């Protein structure tokens, strides 16, 4: 879908005129897709990853690393490669799309991966191939970098190649020019106010009032907003969508057998969104300052809503866990239900249309947290594609090994969820709370997340004996919950979940809770797999396990430590042009295997 998925928010007056039209058409459209395709069955599991890159250009003379706006030249070459690979039916093909930022590339496998464990092992070589290919069409001083947020984006001075002054009519930003945005993704006149807390280092002023905001600029009427309160003290203020939409992430899309399986995966994986966000945290710097958060998600949430008509998010589809008091349009809901769509799905769709496109920015906060960490992708009309779900919360990692490891972990987790019928349900409000917790600095080390205690308690057949696992990974038949089989002493929902560390969630608590990694290993033992593949998958899982256990740093921690231990750093939260240059050089070397980063990688990914 590429850029189509940005949608085009309209100006208020225009939106008012079109909103009913959009609504009626949209609802009929959803209804017709649903009915045409609800019985669509696919027997093969397909999946694919998306990696987003920034094109960084080095100016060695001035010790500056900038974002290159040459992406369209590079893309046209890459898309020629894509065509050629398709024509020759090459297995290791690649596919390329533009992204919101005019310095970004999105690369995916040429064709989705298949359902076997062998297929899973294609992901890292394909990611490496993608990066090589991208680099091939760059200048000698340009590199494809996978970093979640570019540290100096929006800083005074030179951070773009070529340089433009921030005076654009479209974004009216005090910090970034319109030229930074892909010209095909036009967001007219939509100024935003994003404030991320600053990291108070020893010499950071308190309160911190950002001296680099041009508060007295008088070019556009909106310019005064910053001085009039939009820019909060002790925060890093950002006023354009590109601060969020210009971040890079790692997404995974799965095709399910049918709509029921897709809905189940959607609901189960939604609970993993915040956990994986914390584990992949990689965005501790914005607009030249160290932030007191580790992740990009709230920056995106504060900057844009990128839902499309065809690709609707669904609420959790299990009623008693759906505890948000959502506003929804009864009329629309009734129409959808009259059309034969079940109540939860109807409510969800109705809820989306009520805020679409009229109040798309105003009500963003309600929609902005866990919901969009998952996306439900109905089959495109007249295509061979089935029902898909997309896992979207992960931040991009520096190396292909790391990105492959997290992708593989999620893919294997879906297999485990489906084959063991795991149940991760907790109330949506708790998932929201987990999203906030995930942003905290070093959340993996210090914080606890709401998680379900008994994953084997089937949401439909409460009380039925199921095969389960002990913490040591051994398996035996036993009762996994205390409820009566006929359910006459139902436990309350509050008893079903508790707060756990990420280490406990992933590696188990050594007691009752087995940990997701052990479940995955157990699953791998139960399927036919050759030793070599088992060994490679084991490396990825071991890596994720060590991240969760705090034995390896998150990317955010590693970047923060790099800055704080840089000889030129003044303990004042400022990431200067030179520190950023050295950081980008280091990231490029780590990614190429030319520099070790033992705190980040251990010995992983060196020769894989």
Q: Which chain residues interact with ligand ADP by CB under 6 A?
A: 1, 5, 46-50, 108-109, 112, 251, 253-255, 385, 388, 390
Residue among 235 and 388 whose Cβ is closer to ligand ADP: 388
Residue among 168 and 246 whose Cβ is closer to ligand ADP: 246
Contact 153, 243 (CB under 8 A): yes
- In whole angstroms, the minimum distance from the beta carbon of 3 to Mg ion comes to 8
- In whole angstroms, the minimum distance from the beta carbon of 104 to ligand ADP comes to 12
409 binds, among ligand ADP, Mg ion, none (CB under 5 to 8 A by kind): none
- In whole angstroms, the minimum distance from the beta carbon of 266 to Mg ion comes to 14
535 binds, among ligand ADP, Mg ion, none (CB under 5 to 8 A by kind): none
Long-range contacts of the stretch 59-65 (C-beta < 8 A, 24+):
59/141, 59/161, 60/141, 62/158, 62/577, 63/577, 63/578, 63/581, 63/582, 64/158, 64/577, 64/580, 64/581, 65/152, 65/580, 65/581, 65/583, 65/584, 65/585
109 binds, among Mg ion, ligand ADP, none (CB under 5 to 8 A by kind): ligand ADP
User: Does the protein bind Mg ion through residue 251 (CB under 5 A)?
Assistant: yes
HEC secondary structure over 329-352: CHHHHHHHHHCCCCHHHHHHHHHH
The counts of H helices and E strands in the chain are 20, 17
Alpha carbon 39 to its chain's center: 29
- In whole angstroms, the minimum distance from the beta carbon of 255 to ligand ADP comes to 3
- Name the residue among 148, 319, 378, 152 with its Cα closest to residue 245: 148
48 binds, among ligand ADP, Mg ion, none (CB under 5 to 8 A by kind): ligand ADP
- In whole angstroms, the minimum distance from the beta carbon of 81 to Mg ion comes to 17
Neighbour count for residue 530 (Cβ, 10 Å): 9
Residue among 106 and 402 whose Cβ is closer to Mg ion: 106
Residue among 308 and 526 whose Cβ is closer to ligand ADP: 308
Nearest residue relative to ligand ADP (C-beta): 48
- In whole angstroms, the minimum distance from the beta carbon of 311 to ligand ADP comes to 7
| Total residues interacting with Mg ion, rule: CB under 5 A | 4
Which secondary structure element, helix H or strand E, spans residue 433, and what is its range?
helix 428-439
Residue among 251 and 554 whose Cβ is closer to Mg ion: 251
The distance between the two most distant Cα atoms of the chain, rounded to a whole number of Å, is 75
Q: What residues numbered 24-83 form the site for Mg ion, per CB under 5 A?
A: 50
User: Does the protein bind Mg ion through residue 255 (CB under 5 A)?
Assistant: no
Residue among 175 and 254 whose Cβ is closer to ligand ADP: 254
- In whole angstroms, the minimum distance from the beta carbon of 251 to Mg ion comes to 4
Residue ranges with strand state E in 60-169 = 64-68, 94-98, 104-109, 142-145, 160-161
Residue among 129 and 569 whose Cβ is closer to ligand ADP: 129
Alpha carbon 461 to its chain's center: 32
Contact 540, 404 (CB under 8 A): yes
Residue among 48 and 166 whose Cβ is closer to ligand ADP: 48
554 binds, among Mg ion, ligand ADP, none (CB under 5 to 8 A by kind): none
47 binds, among Mg ion, ligand ADP, none (CB under 5 to 8 A by kind): ligand ADP
- Name the residue among 77, 253, 65 with its Cα closest to residue 157: 65
How many Å apart are CA 48 and CA 295, to the nearest integer? 23
User: Does the protein bind Mg ion through residue 294 (CB under 5 A)?
Assistant: no
Neighbour count for residue 596 (Cβ, 10 Å): 13
- In whole angstroms, the minimum distance from the beta carbon of 290 to ligand ADP comes to 31
User: Does the protein bind Mg ion through residue 373 (CB under 5 A)?
Assistant: no
Q: 3-class DSSP state for residue 168?
A: coil
- In whole angstroms, the minimum distance from the beta carbon of 49 to ligand ADP comes to 5
- Name the residue among 278, 297, 275 with its Cα closest to residue 196: 297
- Name the residue among 416, 49, 34 with its Cα closest to residue 258: 34
Cα pseudo-dihedral 405, 411, 415, 418, rounded to 10: 130
- In whole angstroms, the minimum distance from the beta carbon of 240 to ligand ADP comes to 22
Q: What residues numbered 72-131 form the site for Mg ion, per CB under 5 A?
A: 106
The length of the chain, given as a count of residues: 608
Binding string, residues 320-359; x marks residues near Mg ion by CB under 5 A:
----------------------------------------
| Contact positions vs Mg ion (CB under 5 A) | 5, 50, 106, 251
């Amino acid at each position: 879908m590429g850029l189509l998925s940005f949608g085009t928010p309209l100006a208020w007056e225009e939106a008012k005129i079109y909103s009913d039209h959009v609504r009626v058409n949209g609802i009929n459209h959803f209804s017709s897709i649903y009915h045409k395709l609800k019985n669509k069955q696919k027997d093969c599991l397909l999946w694919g990853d998306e990696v987003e890159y920034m094109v960084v250009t080095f100016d060695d003379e001035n010790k500056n690393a900038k974002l290159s706006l040459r992406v369209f030249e590079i893309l046209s070459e890459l898309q020629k490669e894509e065509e050629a690979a398709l024509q020759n039916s090459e297995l290791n093909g690649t596919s390329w799309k533009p992204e919101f930022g005019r310095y970004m590339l999105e690369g995916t496998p040429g064709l989705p991966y298949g359902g076997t464990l062998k297929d899973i092992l294609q992901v890292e070589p394909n990611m490496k191939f993608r990066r090589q290919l991208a680099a091939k069409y760059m200048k000698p001083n340009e590199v494809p970098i996978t970093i979640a947020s570019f540290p100096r984006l929006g800083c005074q001075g030179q951070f773009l190649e070529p340089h433009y002054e921030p005076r654009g009519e479209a974004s009216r930003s005090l910090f970034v020019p319109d030229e930074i945005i892909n010209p095909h993704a036009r967001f007219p006149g939509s100024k935003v106010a994003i404030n991320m807390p600053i990291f108070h280092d020893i010499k950071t002023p308190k309160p911190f009032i950002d001296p680099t905001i041009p508060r007295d600029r008088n070019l556009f009427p909106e310019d005064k907003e910053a001085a009039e309160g939009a820019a909060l003290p002790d925060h890093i203020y950002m006023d354009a969508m590109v601060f969020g939409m210009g971040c890079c992430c790692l997404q995974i899309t799965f095709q399910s057998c049918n709509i029921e399986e897709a809905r189940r995966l959607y609901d189960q994986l939604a609970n993993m969104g915040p956990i994986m966000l914390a584990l992949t945290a990689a965005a501790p710097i914005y607009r030249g300052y160290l932030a007191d958060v580790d992740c990009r998600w709230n920056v995106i949430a504060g900057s844009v809503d990128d839902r499309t008509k065809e690709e609707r998010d669904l609420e959790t589809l299990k009623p008693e866990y759906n505890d948000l008091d959502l506003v929804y349009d009864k009329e629309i809901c009734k129409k959808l239900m009259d059309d034969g769509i079940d109540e939860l799905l109807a409510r969800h769709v109705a809820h989306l249309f009520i805020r679409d496109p009229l109040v798309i920015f105003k009500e963003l906060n309600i929609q902005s947290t866990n919901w969009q960490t998952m996306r439900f992708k109905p089959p495109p009309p007249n295509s061979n594609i089935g029902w898909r779900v997309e896992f979207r919360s992960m931040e991009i990692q520096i190396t292909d090994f790391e990105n492959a490891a997290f992708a593989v972990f999620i893919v294997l987790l879906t297999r485990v969820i489906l084959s063991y019928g795991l149940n991760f349900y907790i109330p949506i409000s708790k998932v929201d709370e987990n999203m906030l917790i995930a942003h905290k600095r070093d959340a993996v080390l210090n914080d606890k997340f709401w998680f379900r205690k008994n994953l084997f308690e089937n949401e439909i057949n409460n009380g039925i004996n199921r095969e389960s696992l002990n913490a040591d990974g051994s398996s035996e038949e036993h009762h996994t919950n205390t409820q009566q089989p006929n359910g006459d002493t139902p436990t309350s929902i509050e008893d079903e979940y508790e707060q756990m560390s990420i280490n406990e969630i992933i590696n188990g608590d050594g007691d009752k809770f087995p940990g997701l990694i052990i479940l995955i290993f157990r699953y791998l033992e139960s399927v036919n797999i050759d030793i070599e593949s088992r060994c490679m998958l084991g490396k990825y899982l071991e890596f994720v396990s060590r991240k969760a256990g705090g034995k390896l740093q998150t990317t955010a921690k590693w970047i923060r430590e790099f800055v704080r231990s840089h000889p030129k750093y003044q303990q004042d939260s400022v990431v200067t042009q030179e520190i950023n240059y050295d950081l980008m050089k280091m990231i490029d070397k780590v990614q190429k295997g030319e520099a070790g980063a033992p705190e980040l990688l251990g010995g992983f990914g060196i020769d894989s």
